[in-house]
A = this chain, B = another copy of it.
Amino acid sequence: MSSQKLANRVKDLQSSAIRELLKHSKMEGVISLGGGIPNPDLFDTEGLRIAMDRVLTEDGHNAFQYGLSEGDPKLREAICQISAERGIQCTPDDVVITSGSQQSLDIVARAIINPGDVIVVERPTYLAALQVFQLAEAELKSVGTDGEGMIVDELEELVKQTPIKAVYIVPTFGNPGGVTLTDARRQQLVALAARYDFLIFEDDPYSEINFSGETFRTLKSHAQAIGVGEQVIYTSTFSKILAPGARVGWITLPSWLKQQAVILKQATDLHTSSLSQALTRHYLESGRLRPQIALISKAYQQKCDALVSALQNELGDRIRFHRPQGGMFLWATFTEAFNTTEWLKTTLNNGVVYVPGEFFYCDRPDTSTLRLSYSTVSEANLAEAARRLKASLPQ
């Protein structure tokens, strides 16, 4: 095991300790704001059943046989339709189906990163992305975020000093930060990538879960508009809008990276489950995805509103946060010196858990932060959770 792998392992062990603690979230009476998972009560079980029935009736053996490493051509075509709705021009040849976003991260990391390459992430950023970049032995650097997403001016200072390979970013309704990069900053980021010749790795699992109706143009779309589409690697998934257990995501690749990505996909697991791909394709053909997304978005918005109100009522100015405009996460920061990792033991005793913020940093962790997920919690329990957080505060 290399030293980087070891470092990664240590990091994971830390988060394992937290996972251990979070397991208690399944104890009766504990309200968990920790999990980053979709609400299973909102799964379109009926639609999935109908789709599965069509798989078994219409696809016959194909749903159980080996398939292409790049994925089912018809599903890739359907993904191009979805991409067009997101302002991205692509053909099925540009798309590789993956077994979810996590695999997209792993494949892209293995394809583009040589040991020591600098990858810039947001501060805070998605924990599991840190993990795969470390496995690929990247050198990680971070850029701060505010209510408008990544502070691109800060990135500019960095790229002036240091050549970087790529910026990894969840620009819309981010995890864990819950913030969204403004359109002005999107343009600024893409222009910067063009000027300083780095890649943008755009991870977009949440953009459809939109509370405001305001749409945010993807970085890939911005880049294509100014002729640098080849510098953006885009990934998205059906996990948050359909069914995470099916493990179906995709990467939209620049032409220079396609062959390499397919080779890595093949080496990794030959191809994504034919069954899951067929299920997804039939579901998309059923036309139920748009209403389903509307349903999820509305439900999550109500939950988000409930959490925001409850936090304001109970914690007042002890914490500050940006109201999420979509997605599944609210990121809060204590306005005083605080250690949310330590505090978790107290809140668990009082029957509420969250994820301490420090695990979402590759450097300079802010221990006064925490991630609160509202997707699976009832409005009544969100209110109760806030009361329990308040009761856990040091006086």
Contact = CB atoms under 8 A, between A and B. Distances in A.
Nearest to A264: B135
Contact of A247 (B56, B60, B271): B271
Nearest to A101: B270
Interface in A235-268: 239, 243-247, 259-260, 263-264, 266-268
Contact of A246 (B243, B259, B275): B275
Contact of A131 (B66, B267, B275): B267
A172 interface: no
Contacts of A12: 263, 266
Interface residues of A, number: 59
Contacts of A312: none
A244 B267 CA distance: 16
Nearest to A56: B49
Interface stretch (A40-48, A85-93, A219-227): A40-48
A128 B66 CA distance: 15
A231 interface: no
A110 to B, nearest CB: 8
Contacts of A263: 8-9, 12
Interface string A2-35: 1000001100100000000000000000000000
A66 B102 CA distance: 12
Nearest to A268: B106
A61 interface: yes
Contact of A269 (B66, B67, B269): B269
Most buried by B among A49, A114, A247, A270: A247
A100 B103 CA distance: 14
A259 B270 CA distance: 24
A52 interface: yes
A273 interface: yes
B269 A245 contact: no
A284 interface: no
A75 to B, nearest CB: 13
Given A9-B260, A99-B99, A247 B273 contact: yes
Most buried by B among A110, A115, A245, A276: A245
Most buried by B among A40, A41, A275: A275
Interface string A178-199: 0000000000000000000000
Given A9-B260, A260-B1, A62 B271 contact: no
A64 B49 contact: no
A209 interface: no
Contacts of A106: 267-269
B260 A274 contact: no
Interface of A: 1-2, 8-9, 12, 37-38, 40-41, 43, 45, 48-49, 52, 56, 60-67, 98-100, 102-103, 106, 110-111, 114-115, 128, 131-132, 135, 239, 243-247, 259-260, 263-264, 266-276, 279
**Which 6 A-B residue pairings sit nearest by Cβ, starting from the closest?**
A245-B274, A40-B61, A64-B243, A103-B269, A99-B269, A64-B245
6 contacts: A9-B260, A66-B245, A67-B245, A102-B269, A128-B266, A273-B275
